Amino acid sequence: MNTQPVSILLIDDDEINNFISIKLIKKAAPNANITACLNGRFAIEELSEIQRKGIDKLPDFILLDINMPIMNGWEFLDEYKRLNIDPSGKSRIYIISSSVFSNDISRAYSYPMVRNFVSKPLSVEKIKEMLEG
């Protein structure tokens, strides 16, 4: 079990899903510091603010939903790359989606910064795999 403090940015527009995900993450990693954003635009603003404080302060993990209002997951990834938020690749990005469309899965892997595509619902086991992977 990972006992090191870990920082996670959860980006999902579903507040109930976020509540459940945070509970599961806390079970998998009790020391996790979790920030939730309800869309990609808020997340980009949050990450830009963190980056100004120092790249080493960026989250260890970004769990990103695809289908969200205002700025979806794809738009987030494009903006993240365009702004060069994480030039050293500190943050490990995982797409967390209920999509089962193969084009979404292959599109996720077309982004070099995406580590994996994880199907919802999350579980303690899936979270542990991400944190240890």
- pLDDT digit string, tens, across residues 42-93: 999 999 999 999 999 999 999 999 999 999 999 999 999 999 999 999 999 9
Give the structural domain span for 107.
Answer: 7-132
Domain assignment present for 1: no
> Structure pTM?
0.95
Domain assignment present for 91: yes
Domain assignment present for 2: no
What CATH number is attached to the domain comprising 36? 3.40.50.2300
d(CA 127, CA 104): 21
Number of folded domains that form the chain: 1
Q: Supply the mean pLDDT for the chain.
A: 94
**pLDDT band of 1, cuts 50, 70, 90:** very low
Domain assignment present for 95: yes
Domain assignment present for 19: yes
What pLDDT sits at residue 71?
96
